[in-house]
Chain A
Amino acid sequence: MPIPEDKRLTNERLSNERPDHDRIDDQRMDDQRISDHQFDAEPIDEKFAAHLKEFRPLAPQPLPVESRALVPRRWFVVAARAAAAAAIFAVAVLAFRARPGRVTQPFENFAVADRLLKPKSLTMRTANALLATAPSFKDAIDEMAFPPKPAPLPADKHSALAELSKEKTKL
């Protein structure tokens, strides 16, 4: 699109906009016009420089690297996810432990029942252990033949087999 005539920047137009004293100087010293023009005519220089600044230099091609702005964001996302997972795990563990007796009591009962229902079986390993630890050979043989009774139940516990044996069922 051509620039309208009235907007065109010309030497004539610039000269008309110069102060009067500059014009008088120009008339008096024609032979030094160029040097005066270059070093004293600051308004013209500024106007022309402003005109040149209207030409915007083209932007360069983007740098052939991955944008670094994304790097901290990715790191932050990973860290945030890890922190969230750790927090969820911690809350779950605390919530699980907060329920009284739910986990520990059944395990205790299982241990007791296991001890009652499963007497120690005699194996080569236990036999060797008895022979090694018993004060005499006779004691070791006695212990193998008559294993010790299981530990008695606490006072507040009752054996199911004992309770059942007490019942008098009439067939």
Chain B
Amino acid sequence: MHPNPTDAAEIESLYRQHGAALLLFAAAITGERSRAQDALHHVFLKLIEDGNLRRALDKKAYLFACVRNAILNEAKIRNRHTPLDPDSARSTSTWFTPPDRDYAAEHNLRHALSILPRDQRAVIVLHIWGELTFAQIADLLEISANTAASRYRYALAKLRETMLPAPNTKEDPCANSRG
């Protein structure tokens, strides 16, 4: 079944609108931007071919679910379950456009995300950059909304601890020795 041009245009519009957040979500699961990109293309090409997006009530949440399922299926096919490699933060491929071109901060954020537990990482990406509500995340990940909110807060706290310097570390380490 081929979609009519209106459906295809709508799917392409959704790709432009949510593609960046979907790609980040996929990269947060796979740990590899190239695999994430492949999964995203696979999902959207299938949607264009089948044209079954019309049945989805919440199209944005449905797209995130499609991406997640595509990645999980691909992992099953590969018969491997690759955890996100913390060293991936050292790779040259960036995930974000940082504010004020602060690429050191972008590297820190990627590293902080990479060391989060997978469940927390998924929730924080979905809520902050995917802009999904906790109810939508709960449906997507098949957890309760309270669990989603709890994971989000834990993840946020860990990110803050990893990314932002603590008040005592901000002091000059040589200050005591001078005194």
**Would B100 and A10 count as touching, CB distance under 8 A?**
no
Q: A3-B105, A52-B109, A68-B48 are in contact. Are A11 and B166 (CB under 8 A)?
A: yes
A12 at the A/B interface (Cβ < 8 Å)? yes
A55 at the A/B interface (Cβ < 8 Å)? yes
19 contacts between A and B (CB under 8 A): A2-B102, A3-B100, A10-B164, A10-B167, A39-B153, A48-B156, A49-B156, A54-B99, A57-B129, A58-B97, A60-B19, A60-B22, A60-B37, A60-B40, A63-B15, A63-B45, A64-B41, A69-B9, A69-B12
- Give, as a whole number of angstroms, the nearest-CB distance from B103 to chain A: 10
Chain B residues with a Cβ under 8 A of chain A: 5, 8-9, 11-12, 15, 19-24, 37, 40-41, 44-45, 48, 94-102, 105-106, 109, 128-129, 153-154, 156-157, 159-160, 164-167, 170
In the bound complex, CA of A22 to CA of B109 (Å):
27
Q: Mask for A19-53, Cβ within 8 A of B = 1, else 0? A: 00000000000000010011100000100110011
Chain A residues with a Cβ under 8 A of chain B: 1-3, 9-12, 14-15, 34, 37-39, 45, 48-49, 52-61, 63-65, 67-69, 71-72, 75
